[in-house]
């Protein structure tokens, strides 16, 4: 009888043991980590004639590059080439989604004021004239430009860094001060690497006067 009870006890213990719920083993699926797809820069400033690199980070497929104006900047495989002064949108397109960077192309005039430097801005050109009594070497007269094939407008296709300047300015309206022996000359401003000559000019005399106009001689401001 005791043997039967012992047998039944062992049998019951075994049944209860195997009836306990078995803990679930968690299954993990390893997924390759993919970061956010984005351009390495949302805005970029680059000097005329220089290049810079854009990259679409974590791109899952081939990237196509576009420029809103290839005359200002062109992009090939992420390399931006600054072709002229201005502002442009460079777009990277991947799987139908566009990522945009605003690119500003500057003239790239020299930072310091040296006799052999290239300058195009109002303040730099005026300072150069005061210091050296002449225009920076990147300025050429209209006749010199004509010898290169120029017949008006931008000089970009004829000379990479040249600007028009050094021609006599005839003050037919008599707006500027007169003096015995005084002559006025003119030069374009902000046109190095530009697509047009614009309306900005500096008028300077052979005896130290410097004037600026940003509306093609309608109004002058002495510098």
Q: List, for residues 184-200, the tens digit of each pLDDT value.
A: 999 999 999 999 999 99
Q: Looking at domain 122-222, which of 1.10.10.1100, 3.10.450.30, 3.20.20.70, 3.40.640.10 is its CATH number?
A: 3.10.450.30
DSSP 3-state of 4: helix
Which among 87, 194, 183, 82 has a CA at the least distance from the CA of 138?
194
Are domains 38-106 and 122-222 of this chain identical in fold?
no
Catalytic sites, residue numbers: 186, 216
**Confidence (pTM):** 0.78
Domain extent listing, the chain? 38-106, 122-222
**CATH topology classification for 38-106:** Immunoglobulin-like (2.60.40)
Q: List, for residues 6-41, the tens digit of each pLDDT value.
A: 555 555 454 444 444 333 333 232 333 357 999 999
As given in the structure block, the two tokens for residue 40 are 């390495």
Which among 54, 17, 61, 24 has a CA at the least distance from the CA of 39?
54
The angle formed by the CA atoms of residues 105, 111 and 117, to the nearest 5 degrees, is 100
Cα–Cα distance, 183 to 8 (Å, whole number):
127
């Amino acid at each position: 009888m005791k043997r039967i009870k012992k047998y039944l006890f062992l049998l019951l213990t075994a049944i209860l043991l195997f009836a306990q719920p078995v803990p679930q083993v968690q299954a993990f699926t390893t997924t390759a980590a993919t970061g956010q797809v984005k351009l390495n820069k949302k805005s970029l400033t680059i000097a005329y004639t220089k290049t810079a690199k854009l990259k679409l980070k974590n791109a899952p497929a081939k990237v196509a590059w576009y420029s809103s104006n290839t005359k200002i900047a062109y992009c090939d495989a992420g390399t931006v080439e600054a072709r002229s002064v201005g502002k442009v949108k460079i777009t990277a397109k991947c799987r139908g989604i566009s990522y945009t960077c605003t690119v500003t192309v500057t003239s790239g005039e020299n930072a310091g004021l040296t006799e052999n430097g290239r300058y195009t801005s109002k303040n730099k050109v005026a300072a150069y004239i005061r210091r050296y009594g002449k225009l920076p070497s990147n300025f050429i007269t209209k006749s010199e430009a004509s010898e290169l094939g120029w017949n008006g407008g931008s000089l970009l296709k004829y000379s990479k860094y040249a600007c028009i300047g050094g021609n006599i300015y005839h003050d037919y309206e008599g707006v500027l001060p007169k003096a015995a022996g005084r002559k006025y000359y003119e030069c374009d401003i902000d046109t190095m690497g530009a697509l047009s000559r614009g309306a900005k000019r500096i008028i300077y005399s052979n005896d130290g006067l410097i004037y600026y106009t940003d509306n093609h001689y309608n109004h002058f401001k002495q510098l």
